Amino acid sequence: MATRRGITGEALSAAYPSAEAADVVMQDGTSIHFRPVRAGDADRVRTFLEGVSSDSMVLRFFGAASIDWVTRWAVDVDYKDRYAIVAEAGPSREIVAHGAYIASGDGCAEVAFLVTDRQQGHGIATLMLMHLASVANRHGFEHFTAEVLPGNHRMIDVFRNCGLPCSVRNEQGVVEIELETALDERALEAFDRREQAATRNALHRFLAPRSIAVIGASQRRGSVGAALMENLLAAGFSGAIYPVNTHSEKVCGLEAYASIDAVPDPVDMAVIAIPAPRVPDVAAACAAAGVRAMLVLSAGFGETGEEGKLLQQQLLDVCRRSGARLIGPNCLGVVNTDPAVRLDATFTVSAVPQGNVGMISQSGGLGVALIEEANRLGVGVSSFVSVGNKLDISGNDLLDYWELDPATDVILLYLESFGNPRRFGRLARRVGKTKPILAVKSGRTPAGVRASSSHTGALLSASDVTVDALFRQAGVIRADTIGELFDTAALLSSQPLPRGRRVAIVTNGGGPGIVAADACVAAGLEVCELPASLQAELRRLLPRGAAVSNPVDMVATVSADQYRRTVELLIEADVCDAILALFVPAISTTTADAVAAALAGAAAKANGITLASVFMDHQAPRSSAAGRVSVSRFQFPEDAARALANAVSYGEWRLRPSGVVPAFEDCDRDAAAALIGRVLARGGDGWLGMAEVCELLACYRLPMIETRVVQSEREAVAAWAQLGQPVVLKGVAPGLLHKTESGAVVTSVSGEDEVLAAARAISSAVTRAGHALEGLIVQPMAAAGVEMLLGVVHDASFGPVIACGAGGATAELLGDVAVRITPLTDRDAAEMLGSLRISPLLHGYRGAPPCDVGAVSDALLRLGAMVEAHPEIAELDANPLLASPQGVLIVDARVRVRPAQAVRPLGALRN
């Protein structure tokens, strides 16, 4: 691909954007290093160009090109209007590709790529294009243009298939291409699908290897190497196993090798279980031997302190330079129960039961407990991965893998941290539409509430509401405990999703039935009343004294056949969405096994109705074949109710429309960017002045009340005269957050004398509060309305987090807030407003006229669009926003900006 226009000039002096360097995943699952080019790269770029074939040079530059000229052009950058990146591969970081854009005017830039011949076809140009588009869009370029020779089919396909809106036309012997740089949902979806293919290729080497080298294999009882070998052999791994041990000729009856170099055949995965200080060198030897998957069980890395962190970085450097992928270190291992693979590369004591649940644990110790619990409850596992320190392969990668894994129907996560929560949200929303995702996320309460300079920050820092928002938007079922996690997983892995909230309860004991009914109602389920005709049938079926409403108390003498028939009658009547069957063996004349068999028989005729059971005897009825119960079994009614409620909520989420992220064509993004740039250029704490706040909000048509900012008492009088009505005076001072409590607000001021008196009172109050008055704000008195808060905090990991709730001076006291992560859809906005305790006030409480809820939603969506477009916005408070039948009006607002984080390439791996 090439441009006809030769562009020359000296490289401008600019700070090197080192944070924009990253390792990214190629189509085959291996990694490659991207970084911005430096002027000092000239010699290495020349070497790269000399290695490119003449045919590729012609396609790139439309003819023979001077190596000297191209070298100068390739490193001539200012990291804004002229931006270039290189791709480096191999231990020596050889440059194998170059991509650049150059400003061409009117918000456009010309883009071009060159990839060495042997690396073509691996997706490098597509990865470069997406990264360059992100950077260009951040710098205000809305379109890329390119000119390609008609015979350069590969490059034309790169543009056509990248996912960005693209137009292609033939013009005078060249193909002219124009594409947008904004990464919309369609572009992100296309990129995610390409990345998914690469991720599956990488994980296939871990979960379905054809051969394994066990480095640190041992026969010494109690050692990790011995337990690992025992589990691999006991599981009957279908591939080849090569023990590596410097001191033994045989390990567990298999020939052992002194080093990875001595293994005679190709090795797909190396499992490393040796002391941490030796791991980097051994990993380097594995990489040199062509191993591209490394499972490091060894502990003693970043979790132990600075020395361990250094070892960890050395290990990562080995993998990045070789393109190998890594699970661990400090992990339990991996399992794949597929009969065609039979892989157990862990050092656990218990075998992992086969089933349909994909399981990930960040903690090795908890991973052991998860496997034990899976065995106890009969929850079968398709594959299990312990990611340990999560240096490379992460939960996001496993989500990508399990989405298309036919053996996995339910995904279970134990997380301690997020690497890329925004990508997690995108993936989970997509995967969750077909497979339920359950998670326990540790760290629900922060060690301390961070100091915050806005109402929004204070509200969001008090708990992990950000994680809750992420899970809620993505449809992830969040469990509070490991027990709830497995209870819900057991239900979802063995039963269909409930079609609604109606629950019928059958029991052989009245007390447990009442407890179950209370638990169901408390969980938001409906204990539905049974029709009279069905009650009559149940009376004829059950022993004398049975209660046949709901719960159905079948009394202690009920037989197993009557249990089965009762459930069948409920199914046939189609009066419920789920049936909860309770059994108390201590008062029964039948056995738990007989009742379990009866329920299993009824389950075969369930016709889409969800069945769950509670056996209050601490025994676990299991099926004899795969170790999985045919009807989910719980210990207590409350456990079953929570699991059913989780399943119902998930089913409702799946049926909801996804919502649309609106595109506001009436917003002036360029003007907002220019304003933010001016504020950043002057330095300081980043807080916008009130006039700047009004200007910024106006760029996105966010309705701010008419505002005058003045510097003196006399200017305040003039402002009052211009507004011509009773006004509000507010003090402006650095660090002054709670104006009302500080006495810096005076309302209903009218007349020159009152304005002067109010100005002096505010000055005295601000001084007493320890602040220096910088000016006054004069606004007309706003009409009454429902006081709301709209706000944003930009989280370093999650991005913009939007809050909406009860506003005014008592916002933090009430704590009535809904939280979401951008991008915000119309469905998100509607759900946020509907979830608030003050929602009835918006819809007309006790005869009051309803507010314009559509205007509130519009303001929320515009705020979301603004903070997505301008990541420099670190914190924003619109408090209060007054909602009324006439619309909405922002009465006060604060905005703080700071330089945006560097743009990292899409698909960037951990550094």
Q: Smallest Cα–Cα separation from 435: which of 398, 393, 388, 460?
A: 398
Quick one: DSSP state of residue 907?
A: T
Residues 153-184 have pLDDT tens digits of 889 999 988 888 889 888 778 899 999 998 77
Q: What is the Cα–Cα distance from 167 to 179, expressed in whole angstroms?
A: 6
Say what angle helices 713-723 and 752-768 make with each other, to 10 degrees: 130
**Per residue in 486-535, pLDDT tens?**
999 999 999 999 999 999 999 999 999 999 999 999 999 999 999 999 99
pLDDT digits (tens, 9 = 90+) for 779-798: 999 888 999 999 999 988 88
**Measured between alpha carbons, how far is 97 from 162 in angstroms, rounded to an integer?**
18
**How many DSSP H helices and E strands does the chain contain?**
28, 38
Top pLDDT among 807 and 88 is at 88
For residues 266 and 290, the answer to whether their CB atoms sit within 8 Å is yes
In this predicted structure, the answer to whether residue 394 has a pLDDT above a threshold of 80 is: yes
pLDDT digits (tens, 9 = 90+) for 594-604: 888 898 888 88
Task: Using pLDDT thresholds of 50, 70 and 90, give the confidence band for residue 624.
Answer: very low
Q: Are 124 and 85 in contact (CB under 8 A)?
A: no
**Do 686 and 678 form a contact (C-beta atoms < 8 A)?**
no
What is the arithmetic mean of pLDDT over 102-123?
A: 91
456 has pLDDT over 90:
no
CA–CA dist 586, 616 (Å, integer): 9
- pLDDT at residue 3 in the model: 36
Q: Report the distance separating Cα 152 and Cα 114, nearest Å.
A: 12
Answer yes or no: are the C-beta atoms of 643 and 401 closer than 8 Å: no
* Full-model pTM: 0.85
In the predicted model, is pLDDT for residue 680 greater than 50? yes
- Least confident range from 79-88, 321-330, 361-370, 436-445: namely 436-445
- What confidence tier does 590 reach under pLDDT thresholds 50, 70, 90? confident
Tokens of 328: 């661990």
Q: Is 45 in a helix, a strand, or coil?
A: helix
Whole-angstrom Cα Rg for the chain: 32
Enter the tokens of residue 451: 């100091």
Number of residues written out for the chain: 911
Whether residue 621 has pLDDT greater than 60? no
| Euclidean distance between CA atoms 910 and 273, whole angstroms | 23
Name, in order, each residue with C-beta under 8 angstroms of 677's C-beta and a sequence gap of 6 or more.
none
Which of 407, 381, 384 lies closest to 395 in space, CA to CA?
384
Q: Considering only CA atoms, which of 234, 230, 229 is closest in space to residue 244?
A: 229
d(CA 693, CA 691): 5
- Rounded CA-CA distance 498/646 in Å is 10
Confidence check: pLDDT of 629 > 70:
no
Q: What is the DSSP letter of 459?
A: H
Check whether 627 has a pLDDT greater than 60.
no
CB 124 within 8 A of CB 115: yes
**CA dihedral sign of residues 219, 225, 227, 228:** negative
**Nearest alpha carbon to residue 388 among 454, 296, 262, 257:** 296
Q: What is the pLDDT of residue 810?
A: 67
Cα separations in angstroms, 730 against 739, 760, 787: 7, 11, 18
Residue with tokens 């602040």: 771
Of residues 736 and 334, the one with the higher pLDDT is 334
pLDDT band at 905 (very low <50, low <70, confident <90, very high): low
